Chains A and B, each alone.
Chain A
Amino acid sequence: MINKISGLRKTVFLVPALAAITLLSCHSGGGSEPGNAADSSKMTTNSDTAMNTTATAPVVVATDDSLKMGIKDAVKDYPGVNATADNGEITLTGEVMRSKLQPLMMSLNSLHPKKINNKLTIK
Protein backbone atom coordinates (compact mmCIF):
# COMPACT_ATOMS: atom_id res chain seq x y z
CA MET A 1 0.00 0.00 0.00
CA ILE A 2 2.76 2.38 1.00
CA ASN A 3 4.71 1.41 -2.06
CA LYS A 4 1.71 2.09 -4.21
CA ILE A 5 1.29 5.56 -2.79
CA SER A 6 4.94 6.42 -3.15
CA GLY A 7 4.77 5.09 -6.70
CA LEU A 8 1.81 7.34 -7.34
CA ARG A 9 3.65 10.31 -5.86
CA LYS A 10 6.59 9.64 -8.09
CA THR A 11 4.29 9.65 -11.08
CA VAL A 12 2.67 12.87 -9.92
CA PHE A 13 6.08 14.45 -9.61
CA LEU A 14 7.32 13.00 -12.85
CA VAL A 15 4.55 14.39 -15.02
CA PRO A 16 5.17 18.07 -14.34
CA ALA A 17 8.92 17.42 -14.43
CA LEU A 18 8.65 15.86 -17.87
CA ALA A 19 6.40 18.67 -19.02
CA ALA A 20 8.97 21.20 -17.85
CA ILE A 21 11.76 19.37 -19.64
CA THR A 22 9.70 19.21 -22.80
CA LEU A 23 8.93 22.91 -22.58
CA LEU A 24 12.59 23.74 -21.96
CA SER A 25 13.78 21.64 -24.85
CA CYS A 26 11.21 23.26 -27.13
CA HIS A 27 12.34 26.65 -26.01
CA SER A 28 16.02 25.90 -26.37
CA GLY A 29 15.35 24.57 -29.85
CA GLY A 30 13.71 27.86 -30.77
CA GLY A 31 16.92 29.19 -32.29
CA SER A 32 16.76 26.69 -35.12
CA GLU A 33 13.13 27.35 -35.98
CA PRO A 34 13.71 28.63 -39.50
CA GLY A 35 15.67 25.44 -40.19
CA ASN A 36 12.87 23.33 -38.77
CA ALA A 37 10.33 25.13 -40.88
CA ALA A 38 12.34 24.50 -44.02
CA ASP A 39 12.68 20.85 -43.11
CA SER A 40 8.98 20.38 -42.59
CA SER A 41 8.14 21.96 -45.94
CA LYS A 42 10.70 19.68 -47.58
CA MET A 43 9.05 16.69 -45.99
CA THR A 44 5.67 17.75 -47.30
CA THR A 45 7.07 17.98 -50.81
CA ASN A 46 8.57 14.52 -50.50
CA SER A 47 5.35 12.95 -49.30
CA ASP A 48 3.47 14.62 -52.16
CA THR A 49 5.88 13.09 -54.64
CA ALA A 50 5.56 9.75 -52.92
CA MET A 51 1.79 9.86 -53.24
CA ASN A 52 1.95 10.69 -56.93
CA THR A 53 4.32 7.88 -57.75
CA THR A 54 2.99 5.46 -55.12
CA ALA A 55 6.57 5.07 -53.87
CA THR A 56 6.84 3.79 -50.34
CA ALA A 57 9.51 1.12 -50.20
CA PRO A 58 13.18 1.97 -50.64
CA VAL A 59 15.07 0.59 -53.64
CA VAL A 60 16.71 -2.71 -52.76
CA VAL A 61 20.01 -3.49 -54.47
CA ALA A 62 21.36 -7.02 -54.15
CA THR A 63 24.93 -7.73 -53.09
CA ASP A 64 27.44 -8.61 -55.81
CA ASP A 65 27.65 -12.16 -54.46
CA SER A 66 23.92 -12.62 -54.75
CA LEU A 67 23.93 -11.00 -58.21
CA LYS A 68 26.72 -13.29 -59.38
CA MET A 69 24.78 -16.36 -58.29
CA GLY A 70 21.62 -15.10 -59.94
CA ILE A 71 23.44 -14.18 -63.15
CA LYS A 72 24.90 -17.65 -63.44
CA ASP A 73 21.42 -19.18 -63.37
CA ALA A 74 19.95 -16.51 -65.64
CA VAL A 75 22.47 -16.75 -68.49
CA LYS A 76 22.87 -20.54 -68.39
CA ASP A 77 20.58 -21.02 -71.38
CA TYR A 78 22.03 -18.11 -73.34
CA PRO A 79 25.28 -19.29 -74.91
CA GLY A 80 27.36 -16.38 -76.16
CA VAL A 81 26.17 -14.05 -73.41
CA ASN A 82 28.67 -12.97 -70.79
CA ALA A 83 27.46 -11.20 -67.66
CA THR A 84 29.38 -9.68 -64.76
CA ALA A 85 28.31 -7.96 -61.56
CA ASP A 86 30.23 -5.12 -60.01
CA ASN A 87 29.05 -2.65 -57.38
CA GLY A 88 25.43 -3.67 -58.02
CA GLU A 89 25.68 -3.15 -61.77
CA ILE A 90 25.24 -6.00 -64.23
CA THR A 91 27.16 -5.64 -67.49
CA LEU A 92 26.26 -7.79 -70.46
CA THR A 93 28.69 -8.46 -73.30
CA GLY A 94 28.78 -10.95 -76.14
CA GLU A 95 25.92 -11.60 -78.50
CA VAL A 96 22.30 -12.67 -78.36
CA MET A 97 19.40 -13.20 -80.72
CA ARG A 98 16.90 -10.35 -80.54
CA SER A 99 14.09 -12.80 -79.76
CA LYS A 100 15.97 -13.96 -76.66
CA LEU A 101 16.93 -10.55 -75.36
CA GLN A 102 13.66 -9.80 -73.60
CA PRO A 103 13.40 -13.05 -71.59
CA LEU A 104 17.05 -12.61 -70.59
CA MET A 105 16.42 -9.04 -69.44
CA MET A 106 13.29 -10.13 -67.56
CA SER A 107 15.37 -12.62 -65.59
CA LEU A 108 18.17 -10.18 -64.87
CA ASN A 109 15.82 -7.38 -63.82
CA SER A 110 14.38 -9.63 -61.12
CA LEU A 111 17.77 -9.99 -59.42
CA HIS A 112 17.57 -6.49 -57.90
CA PRO A 113 20.54 -4.93 -59.69
CA LYS A 114 21.30 -1.24 -59.35
CA LYS A 115 21.65 -0.97 -63.12
CA ILE A 116 21.99 -3.14 -66.21
CA ASN A 117 24.50 -2.13 -68.87
CA ASN A 118 23.43 -3.87 -72.04
CA LYS A 119 26.46 -3.98 -74.34
CA LEU A 120 25.28 -7.07 -76.18
CA THR A 121 25.60 -7.34 -79.92
CA ILE A 122 22.17 -8.27 -81.18
CA LYS A 123 21.98 -10.80 -83.99
Chain B
Amino acid sequence: MNSKLTISIAKALLLARWKQTLVAAVGVTFSITMFIALLSFMAGLNDLLDGLVLNRTAHIRLYNEIQVNKNQPVNKSPLYKDNYNFIKSVKPTNARLQIYNSGAIIRTLKKDTRVLGIAPKIMTPVFFNEIAINVAAVVNGIDVKNETKLFYFNDYLIEGASDDIEKISNSIILGKGLANQLSANVGDRVQVSNTNGEIFQLKVVGLYQTGIQELDKTQSYTSIATVQKLMGVPNTYITDIQLKLKKIPEAPAIAKEFTKLFEIDAIDIQTANAQFETGSFIRTLISYAVGVVLLVVAGFGIYNILNMMIYEKMDTIAILKATGFSGKDVQTIFLLIAISIGLIGGLVGLLLGFGLSAIIDQIPFKTASLPTIKTYPISYKLMFYLIGAVFSLITTFFAGWFPASKASKVDPVVIIRGK
Protein backbone atom coordinates (compact mmCIF):
# COMPACT_ATOMS: atom_id res chain seq x y z
CA MET B 1 0.00 0.00 0.00
CA ASN B 2 1.04 3.55 -0.64
CA SER B 3 2.13 4.55 2.85
CA LYS B 4 3.27 8.03 1.81
CA LEU B 5 -0.23 8.82 0.60
CA THR B 6 -1.93 7.50 3.74
CA ILE B 7 0.46 9.46 5.95
CA SER B 8 -0.12 12.66 3.98
CA ILE B 9 -3.90 12.23 4.18
CA ALA B 10 -3.73 11.53 7.92
CA LYS B 11 -1.55 14.60 8.40
CA ALA B 12 -3.89 16.80 6.39
CA LEU B 13 -6.93 15.58 8.34
CA LEU B 14 -5.13 16.20 11.63
CA LEU B 15 -3.96 19.69 10.75
CA ALA B 16 -7.05 20.85 8.89
CA ARG B 17 -9.12 20.85 12.05
CA TRP B 18 -6.32 21.50 14.47
CA LYS B 19 -8.63 22.80 17.19
CA GLN B 20 -10.46 19.51 17.35
CA THR B 21 -7.14 17.67 17.23
CA LEU B 22 -5.91 19.87 20.06
CA VAL B 23 -8.95 19.09 22.21
CA ALA B 24 -8.39 15.36 21.71
CA ALA B 25 -4.67 15.67 22.46
CA VAL B 26 -5.36 17.80 25.54
CA GLY B 27 -7.70 15.06 26.77
CA VAL B 28 -4.86 12.57 26.56
CA THR B 29 -2.40 15.04 28.06
CA PHE B 30 -4.63 15.79 31.02
CA SER B 31 -5.16 12.10 31.81
CA ILE B 32 -1.49 11.26 31.63
CA THR B 33 -0.47 14.34 33.63
CA MET B 34 -2.87 13.43 36.43
CA PHE B 35 -1.77 9.82 36.39
CA ILE B 36 1.92 10.69 36.65
CA ALA B 37 1.51 13.42 39.26
CA LEU B 38 -0.86 11.52 41.52
CA LEU B 39 1.04 8.25 41.37
CA SER B 40 4.40 9.97 41.90
CA PHE B 41 2.94 11.75 44.92
CA MET B 42 1.39 8.61 46.38
CA ALA B 43 4.53 6.58 45.80
CA GLY B 44 6.56 9.38 47.35
CA LEU B 45 4.41 9.35 50.48
CA ASN B 46 4.60 5.57 50.57
CA ASP B 47 8.36 5.58 50.30
CA LEU B 48 8.48 8.17 53.07
CA LEU B 49 6.36 6.03 55.38
CA ASP B 50 8.28 2.89 54.48
CA GLY B 51 11.51 4.75 55.03
CA LEU B 52 10.47 5.64 58.58
CA VAL B 53 10.92 2.00 59.47
CA LEU B 54 13.05 0.58 56.68
CA ASN B 55 15.83 3.14 56.88
CA ARG B 56 16.39 2.43 60.53
CA THR B 57 16.02 -1.33 60.43
CA ALA B 58 18.55 -3.91 59.40
CA HIS B 59 17.33 -6.43 56.85
CA ILE B 60 19.02 -9.12 58.90
CA ARG B 61 20.39 -8.75 62.42
CA LEU B 62 22.89 -11.30 63.72
CA TYR B 63 23.07 -11.55 67.51
CA ASN B 64 23.08 -13.97 70.44
CA GLU B 65 19.81 -14.53 72.19
CA ILE B 66 19.85 -15.31 75.88
CA GLN B 67 18.52 -18.83 75.91
CA VAL B 68 18.89 -22.28 77.35
CA ASN B 69 21.77 -24.30 75.98
CA LYS B 70 20.34 -26.85 73.59
CA ASN B 71 23.26 -29.21 74.09
CA GLN B 72 22.76 -30.47 77.64
CA PRO B 73 25.52 -32.78 78.99
CA VAL B 74 23.19 -35.68 79.59
CA ASN B 75 22.35 -35.83 75.89
CA LYS B 76 26.01 -35.90 74.95
CA SER B 77 26.88 -38.76 77.28
CA PRO B 78 27.22 -42.08 75.41
CA LEU B 79 25.74 -43.80 78.42
CA TYR B 80 22.30 -42.23 77.90
CA LYS B 81 22.48 -41.99 74.17
CA ASP B 82 19.60 -44.35 73.49
CA ASN B 83 17.38 -42.94 76.22
CA TYR B 84 14.83 -40.19 76.02
CA ASN B 85 16.04 -37.71 78.61
CA PHE B 86 13.68 -35.36 80.47
CA ILE B 87 15.39 -32.39 82.03
CA LYS B 88 13.34 -30.01 84.13
CA SER B 89 13.86 -26.39 85.16
CA VAL B 90 16.80 -25.74 82.89
CA LYS B 91 18.03 -22.15 83.28
CA PRO B 92 20.06 -20.12 80.86
CA THR B 93 23.62 -19.74 82.03
CA ASN B 94 26.45 -17.54 81.09
CA ALA B 95 24.45 -14.97 79.21
CA ARG B 96 26.97 -14.26 76.48
CA LEU B 97 25.75 -11.54 74.21
CA GLN B 98 29.06 -11.29 72.44
CA ILE B 99 29.31 -12.59 68.89
CA TYR B 100 32.25 -14.95 68.81
CA ASN B 101 34.74 -14.66 66.05
CA SER B 102 33.00 -11.54 64.76
CA GLY B 103 36.00 -10.61 62.60
CA ALA B 104 35.78 -13.84 60.62
CA ILE B 105 32.00 -13.52 60.23
CA ILE B 106 32.31 -9.97 58.89
CA ARG B 107 35.00 -11.07 56.46
CA THR B 108 32.75 -13.87 55.17
CA LEU B 109 29.77 -11.52 54.86
CA LYS B 110 31.78 -8.97 52.95
CA LYS B 111 32.42 -11.59 50.28
CA ASP B 112 28.72 -12.48 50.01
CA THR B 113 27.32 -10.88 46.85
CA ARG B 114 23.76 -10.74 48.20
CA VAL B 115 24.84 -8.43 51.00
CA LEU B 116 24.71 -4.70 50.33
CA GLY B 117 26.50 -3.59 53.45
CA ILE B 118 27.48 -4.49 57.00
CA ALA B 119 27.38 -2.38 60.14
CA PRO B 120 28.64 -3.89 63.42
CA LYS B 121 27.13 -2.61 66.62
CA ILE B 122 27.19 -3.02 70.37
CA MET B 123 24.14 -2.49 72.51
CA THR B 124 24.17 -2.24 76.23
CA PRO B 125 21.61 -1.05 78.76
CA VAL B 126 22.70 1.83 80.98
CA PHE B 127 21.32 4.36 83.43
CA PHE B 128 21.64 8.04 82.84
CA ASN B 129 21.99 9.68 86.24
CA GLU B 130 20.45 13.12 86.59
CA ILE B 131 21.01 14.19 90.20
CA ALA B 132 18.50 11.96 91.98
CA ILE B 133 16.86 10.37 88.95
CA ASN B 134 18.05 7.36 87.02
CA VAL B 135 16.79 7.11 83.47
CA ALA B 136 17.07 3.67 81.93
CA ALA B 137 18.22 3.71 78.32
CA VAL B 138 20.30 1.88 75.77
CA VAL B 139 23.66 2.94 74.42
CA ASN B 140 24.41 1.84 70.89
CA GLY B 141 27.99 1.70 69.80
CA ILE B 142 28.04 2.25 66.07
CA ASP B 143 30.46 2.37 63.20
CA VAL B 144 29.51 5.89 62.01
CA LYS B 145 30.61 5.48 58.43
CA ASN B 146 28.57 2.34 57.75
CA GLU B 147 25.70 3.42 59.94
CA THR B 148 25.36 6.59 57.90
CA LYS B 149 25.65 4.78 54.62
CA LEU B 150 23.18 1.97 55.42
CA PHE B 151 20.80 3.54 57.91
CA TYR B 152 20.89 7.22 56.92
CA PHE B 153 21.93 8.13 60.43
CA ASN B 154 22.64 11.74 59.43
CA ASP B 155 19.04 12.19 58.21
CA TYR B 156 17.82 11.95 61.77
CA LEU B 157 20.46 14.11 63.35
CA ILE B 158 18.91 17.43 64.31
CA GLU B 159 21.95 18.91 66.02
CA GLY B 160 25.67 18.23 65.95
CA ALA B 161 27.69 16.03 63.63
CA SER B 162 27.77 12.25 63.68
CA ASP B 163 31.54 12.11 63.09
CA ASP B 164 32.15 13.75 66.45
CA ILE B 165 31.38 10.57 68.39
CA GLU B 166 34.45 9.00 66.82
CA LYS B 167 36.62 12.11 66.88
CA ILE B 168 35.87 13.19 70.44
CA SER B 169 36.47 10.54 73.07
CA ASN B 170 33.74 9.89 75.65
CA SER B 171 31.08 11.63 73.60
CA ILE B 172 27.47 10.67 72.95
CA ILE B 173 24.48 11.53 70.76
CA LEU B 174 21.18 11.49 72.63
CA GLY B 175 17.67 10.94 71.40
CA LYS B 176 15.55 14.11 71.52
CA GLY B 177 13.17 12.62 74.07
CA LEU B 178 15.99 11.36 76.23
CA ALA B 179 17.79 14.70 76.10
CA ASN B 180 14.57 16.43 77.20
CA GLN B 181 14.25 14.10 80.17
CA LEU B 182 17.82 14.82 81.18
CA SER B 183 17.46 18.49 80.16
CA ALA B 184 20.76 18.10 78.39
CA ASN B 185 21.90 20.06 75.36
CA VAL B 186 24.78 19.77 72.96
CA GLY B 187 28.00 20.54 74.83
CA ASP B 188 26.63 19.42 78.22
CA ARG B 189 28.00 16.45 80.12
CA VAL B 190 25.82 13.56 81.19
CA GLN B 191 26.58 10.89 83.75
CA VAL B 192 26.14 7.28 82.76
CA SER B 193 26.35 4.17 84.90
CA ASN B 194 26.82 0.74 83.39
CA THR B 195 25.20 -2.51 84.50
CA ASN B 196 27.94 -3.03 87.05
CA GLY B 197 27.29 0.40 88.60
CA GLU B 198 30.49 2.04 87.33
CA ILE B 199 30.02 5.71 86.49
CA PHE B 200 31.27 7.56 83.38
CA GLN B 201 31.06 11.15 82.21
CA LEU B 202 30.09 11.60 78.55
CA LYS B 203 29.90 14.77 76.50
CA VAL B 204 26.75 15.35 74.42
CA VAL B 205 27.83 16.13 70.84
CA GLY B 206 24.52 15.75 69.04
CA LEU B 207 20.78 15.13 69.21
CA TYR B 208 18.73 12.94 66.94
CA GLN B 209 15.04 12.34 66.31
CA THR B 210 13.54 9.37 64.45
CA GLY B 211 9.90 10.31 64.90
CA ILE B 212 9.32 7.10 66.80
CA GLN B 213 8.82 8.36 70.39
CA GLU B 214 9.79 5.12 72.04
CA LEU B 215 13.17 5.12 70.33
CA ASP B 216 13.87 8.79 70.89
CA LYS B 217 13.30 8.40 74.61
CA THR B 218 15.47 5.35 75.16
CA GLN B 219 18.23 5.30 72.57
CA SER B 220 21.59 6.97 72.45
CA TYR B 221 24.58 6.55 70.16
CA THR B 222 28.29 6.59 70.56
CA SER B 223 31.30 4.94 68.97
CA ILE B 224 31.95 1.23 69.34
CA ALA B 225 35.15 1.94 71.26
CA THR B 226 33.35 4.13 73.81
CA VAL B 227 30.79 1.42 74.51
CA GLN B 228 33.55 -1.18 74.82
CA LYS B 229 35.15 1.11 77.38
CA LEU B 230 31.84 1.55 79.23
CA MET B 231 31.40 -2.19 79.44
CA GLY B 232 35.03 -2.94 80.17
CA VAL B 233 35.36 -5.42 77.32
CA PRO B 234 38.12 -6.00 74.72
CA ASN B 235 37.97 -4.30 71.34
CA THR B 236 36.78 -7.42 69.52
CA TYR B 237 33.57 -7.43 71.50
CA ILE B 238 30.48 -6.89 69.34
CA THR B 239 26.88 -7.79 70.12
CA ASP B 240 25.18 -7.21 66.79
CA ILE B 241 25.98 -7.38 63.12
CA GLN B 242 23.44 -5.53 60.99
CA LEU B 243 23.09 -6.37 57.33
CA LYS B 244 21.41 -4.67 54.46
CA LEU B 245 20.64 -6.91 51.51
CA LYS B 246 20.27 -6.11 47.86
CA LYS B 247 16.85 -7.75 47.76
CA ILE B 248 14.65 -7.47 50.85
CA PRO B 249 12.34 -10.42 50.02
CA GLU B 250 15.31 -12.79 50.31
CA ALA B 251 15.88 -11.80 53.93
CA PRO B 252 14.04 -14.70 55.68
CA ALA B 253 15.83 -17.37 53.64
CA ILE B 254 19.24 -15.77 54.08
CA ALA B 255 18.66 -15.28 57.81
CA LYS B 256 17.99 -19.01 58.14
CA GLU B 257 21.11 -19.82 56.18
CA PHE B 258 23.29 -17.58 58.39
CA THR B 259 21.81 -19.06 61.57
CA LYS B 260 23.14 -22.44 60.48
CA LEU B 261 26.41 -21.20 59.02
CA PHE B 262 27.54 -19.01 61.91
CA GLU B 263 25.67 -20.84 64.70
CA ILE B 264 24.14 -17.57 65.74
CA ASP B 265 20.67 -16.01 66.02
CA ALA B 266 19.52 -14.13 62.95
CA ILE B 267 16.30 -12.21 62.60
CA ASP B 268 14.99 -10.87 59.32
CA ILE B 269 13.07 -7.65 58.81
CA GLN B 270 9.86 -9.40 57.82
CA THR B 271 9.73 -11.36 61.08
CA ALA B 272 10.86 -8.45 63.24
CA ASN B 273 8.33 -6.02 61.72
CA ALA B 274 5.36 -8.12 60.73
CA GLN B 275 2.90 -5.27 61.30
CA PHE B 276 5.00 -2.96 59.14
CA GLU B 277 4.93 -5.50 56.34
CA THR B 278 1.14 -5.56 56.44
CA GLY B 279 0.90 -1.77 56.47
CA SER B 280 3.32 -1.40 53.62
CA PHE B 281 1.51 -4.04 51.59
CA ILE B 282 -1.86 -2.35 52.08
CA ARG B 283 -0.50 1.07 51.19
CA THR B 284 1.03 -0.34 48.02
CA LEU B 285 -2.25 -2.06 47.22
CA ILE B 286 -4.13 1.22 47.62
CA SER B 287 -1.79 3.10 45.34
CA TYR B 288 -2.05 0.38 42.70
CA ALA B 289 -5.85 0.49 42.97
CA VAL B 290 -5.86 4.27 42.57
CA GLY B 291 -3.46 3.95 39.64
CA VAL B 292 -5.66 1.41 37.90
CA VAL B 293 -8.80 3.47 38.49
CA LEU B 294 -7.06 6.57 37.11
CA LEU B 295 -6.00 4.68 34.03
CA VAL B 296 -9.44 3.22 33.44
CA VAL B 297 -11.14 6.60 33.79
CA ALA B 298 -8.52 8.23 31.58
CA GLY B 299 -8.87 5.40 29.09
CA PHE B 300 -12.60 5.92 28.72
CA GLY B 301 -12.09 9.66 28.36
CA ILE B 302 -9.57 9.21 25.58
CA TYR B 303 -11.73 6.59 23.92
CA ASN B 304 -14.75 8.89 23.97
CA ILE B 305 -12.96 11.87 22.48
CA LEU B 306 -11.39 9.90 19.65
CA ASN B 307 -14.57 8.02 18.96
CA MET B 308 -16.46 11.29 18.53
CA MET B 309 -13.71 12.64 16.36
CA ILE B 310 -13.83 9.69 13.99
CA TYR B 311 -17.63 9.63 13.82
CA GLU B 312 -17.53 13.29 12.85
CA LYS B 313 -15.34 12.33 9.94
CA MET B 314 -17.74 9.72 8.56
CA ASP B 315 -18.28 11.88 5.47
CA THR B 316 -14.61 11.80 4.74
CA ILE B 317 -14.62 8.04 5.10
CA ALA B 318 -17.50 7.76 2.62
CA ILE B 319 -15.76 9.96 0.05
CA LEU B 320 -12.46 8.14 0.40
CA LYS B 321 -14.20 4.81 -0.08
CA ALA B 322 -16.29 6.04 -3.01
CA THR B 323 -13.21 7.24 -4.82
CA GLY B 324 -11.43 3.94 -4.46
CA PHE B 325 -9.78 3.79 -1.05
CA SER B 326 -10.28 0.39 0.54
CA GLY B 327 -11.50 -0.20 4.09
CA LYS B 328 -7.94 -1.05 5.07
CA ASP B 329 -6.65 2.29 3.77
CA VAL B 330 -9.33 4.13 5.72
CA GLN B 331 -8.50 2.18 8.85
CA THR B 332 -4.80 2.89 8.50
CA ILE B 333 -5.46 6.60 8.06
CA PHE B 334 -7.57 6.81 11.20
CA LEU B 335 -5.22 4.65 13.23
CA LEU B 336 -2.41 7.00 12.24
CA ILE B 337 -4.51 9.95 13.37
CA ALA B 338 -5.37 8.28 16.69
CA ILE B 339 -1.81 7.21 17.43
CA SER B 340 -0.40 10.63 16.55
CA ILE B 341 -2.78 12.16 19.05
CA GLY B 342 -1.78 9.55 21.62
CA LEU B 343 1.90 10.09 20.95
CA ILE B 344 1.85 13.88 21.12
CA GLY B 345 -0.76 14.12 23.88
CA GLY B 346 1.01 11.42 25.87
CA LEU B 347 4.44 13.00 25.50
CA VAL B 348 3.21 16.41 26.62
CA GLY B 349 1.32 14.64 29.43
CA LEU B 350 4.53 13.00 30.64
CA LEU B 351 6.33 16.34 30.62
CA LEU B 352 3.50 18.14 32.42
CA GLY B 353 3.20 15.24 34.86
CA PHE B 354 6.88 15.63 35.62
CA GLY B 355 6.40 19.37 35.99
CA LEU B 356 3.44 18.98 38.33
CA SER B 357 5.37 16.47 40.43
CA ALA B 358 8.28 18.90 40.60
CA ILE B 359 5.88 21.61 41.81
CA ILE B 360 4.42 19.34 44.50
CA ASP B 361 8.00 18.54 45.44
CA GLN B 362 8.48 22.24 46.28
CA ILE B 363 5.44 22.60 48.55
CA PRO B 364 6.60 22.94 52.18
CA PHE B 365 5.80 20.00 54.41
CA LYS B 366 7.15 20.11 57.95
CA THR B 367 6.60 17.40 60.48
CA ALA B 368 8.17 16.95 63.88
CA SER B 369 8.90 13.31 63.29
CA LEU B 370 10.95 13.87 60.14
CA PRO B 371 13.49 16.58 60.70
CA THR B 372 15.13 16.30 57.29
CA ILE B 373 11.89 16.40 55.27
CA LYS B 374 11.12 19.95 54.20
CA THR B 375 8.73 19.45 51.26
CA TYR B 376 6.16 16.91 50.15
CA PRO B 377 7.83 13.73 48.95
CA ILE B 378 7.66 12.72 45.30
CA SER B 379 8.86 9.49 43.78
CA TYR B 380 10.34 9.99 40.32
CA LYS B 381 10.05 6.39 39.24
CA LEU B 382 10.78 5.75 35.58
CA MET B 383 8.19 2.98 35.73
CA PHE B 384 5.29 5.47 36.03
CA TYR B 385 6.46 7.30 32.95
CA LEU B 386 6.80 4.07 31.01
CA ILE B 387 3.31 2.95 32.03
CA GLY B 388 1.94 6.39 31.10
CA ALA B 389 3.59 6.32 27.68
CA VAL B 390 2.55 2.77 26.84
CA PHE B 391 -0.95 3.38 28.14
CA SER B 392 -1.55 6.53 26.10
CA LEU B 393 -0.45 4.71 22.95
CA ILE B 394 -2.51 1.59 23.63
CA THR B 395 -5.73 3.43 24.53
CA THR B 396 -5.52 5.76 21.55
CA PHE B 397 -4.75 2.80 19.32
CA PHE B 398 -7.90 0.97 20.41
CA ALA B 399 -9.94 4.17 20.52
CA GLY B 400 -8.99 4.58 16.87
CA TRP B 401 -9.19 0.92 16.00
CA PHE B 402 -12.80 0.17 16.92
CA PRO B 403 -14.62 3.00 15.15
CA ALA B 404 -12.21 2.89 12.20
CA SER B 405 -12.60 -0.83 11.66
CA LYS B 406 -16.36 -0.48 11.94
CA ALA B 407 -16.35 2.35 9.42
CA SER B 408 -14.05 0.44 7.10
CA LYS B 409 -16.48 -2.46 6.84
CA VAL B 410 -19.69 -0.66 5.90
CA ASP B 411 -20.60 0.05 2.29
CA PRO B 412 -20.04 3.72 1.49
CA VAL B 413 -23.70 3.99 0.53
CA VAL B 414 -24.74 3.31 4.12
CA ILE B 415 -22.89 6.43 5.24
CA ILE B 416 -24.12 8.53 2.30
CA ARG B 417 -27.69 7.36 2.73
CA GLY B 418 -27.58 7.94 6.47
CA LYS B 419 -27.18 11.68 5.87
Note whether A and B form a binding pair: no
Q: Name A's B-contacting residues (CB within 8 A).
A: none
Q: Name B's A-contacting residues (CB within 8 A).
A: none
